[in-house]
Structure 1
Amino acid sequence: MLGEEELVKLFPDFADLVQPSGIDLELDKVYIQKGEGSLIDNDKNLPEIEELEGDVYTLKPHTAYLASIKRKVKIPKGYTMLYLPRSTLLRSFVSVQTAVGDPGFYGTLMFLICNHGDFEYRIKSGDRIAQAVVFPVEGSGEYSGSYQEAEE
């Protein structure tokens, strides 16, 4: 696991969000599912989603949402990211479910955010909802999957 000094060097666009053992990730937008999806024979048919309006979101009890992260992430070759929820959310019965960030990935991160509680939970664009922990990876290739965005 990399510390603050190395994280600032590798991710200068996130220097203001670096913590002792990771990088805080800020909520951008929240989306609700509007249709069905499937993954049969690895054919990705993602469900239609709808962006919720405003910059303060009320998460309904027992409901899942997609959440985008404010800044695009560029993971350098030779490194991987694991994303973990902030403990304040967990203590509020809200989870953030994530995937692994592969070496060479560039793009917008999308996480599943779920209110498991019996009461509504309010969250605002800009709130820190997850932390990226970065690890070196030896002998790795680079991500070239369908979620790769063209670098700006």
Structure 2
Amino acid sequence: MLGEKELIKLFPDFEGLIQPSGIDLPLEDVFVQKSAGSLIDNEKNLPELEKLEGPIYTLKAKTAYSVTVAPKVKIPKGYSMLYRPRSTLNRSFISVHTAVGDPGFYGTLQFMVYNYGEFDYQIKKGERIAQAVVFKVSGSGEYNGSYQESE
């Protein structure tokens, strides 16, 4: 795992968000699901999403949301990111479900947030919801999947 000195060199766009062992990821947009989706024979049929109005979002109890974080991330070749939820959210019954960031990925990170609590939860755009932990990866190629954005 990389520490803050290495992170500052590799991720200058995240200045001010670097922590001793990771990069804080602030909430950008929140979406609700408006249609069904499917994954059959590796064919992705993503659900339609509706963007909620901010800057303060109310996460209803027992409800899932798709969220984006800012800024866009560029993972250098030879590195991978794991995304972990901030402990404040865990303590408030809010979970952030994430994936692995592959070497070479560039784009907007999208996570799922679920309110496991019995009560609504309010959160403001720009609040830190997750932390990216960066690892060196040897012998890897680069991400070239359907979620790659152009630089």
Letter of the structure 2 residue corresponding to residue 85 of structure 1: P
Letter of the structure 2 residue corresponding to residue 114 of structure 1: Y
Letter of the structure 1 residue corresponding to residue 6 of structure 2: E
What TM-score, normalized to structure 1?
0.99
Q: Which residue of 1 aligns with 2:34?
A: 34
Q: Which residue of 2 aligns with 1:86?
A: 86
Is 1:66 the counterpart of 2:74 in the alignment? Answer: no
Is 1:43 the counterpart of 2:43 in the alignment? Answer: yes
Q: Which residue of 2 aligns with 1:2?
A: 2
SS of alignment partner, residue 7 of structure 1: helix
- Identity, % of aligned pairs? 71
CA distance in 2, matches of 1:55, 1:48: 22
What TM-score, normalized to structure 2?
0.99
Residue 16 (structure 1) shift: 0.8
Q: Deviations over 1:55-78 (max 9, x none)?
A: 100000000000100200000000
Is 1:52 the counterpart of 2:52 in the alignment? Answer: yes
Residue 123 (structure 1) shift: 0.4
Q: Which residue of 2 aligns with 1:13?
A: 13
Letter of the structure 1 residue corresponding to residue 127 of structure 2: D
Residue 113 (structure 1) shift: 0.3
CA distance in 2, matches of 1:123, 1:70: 15
SS of alignment partner, residue 16 of structure 2: helix
Residue 54 (structure 1) shift: 1.9
The RMSD of aligned alpha carbons is 0.4
Is 1:103 the counterpart of 2:115 in the alignment? Answer: no
SS of alignment partner, residue 30 of structure 2: strand
Q: Which residue of 1 aligns with 2:123?
A: 123
CA distance in 2, matches of 1:116, 1:100: 23
In the TM superposition, structure 1's runs of 4+ consecutive aligned residues that sit over 4 Å from their partners are none
CA distance in 2, matches of 1:54, 1:114: 18
CA distance in 1, matches of 2:117, 2:111: 18
Q: Deviations over 1:68-125 (max 9, x none)?
A: 0020000000000000000000000000000000000000000000000000000010
Structure 2: runs of 5+ lacking an equivalent = none
Residue 40 (structure 1) shift: 0.3
SS of alignment partner, residue 148 of structure 1: coil
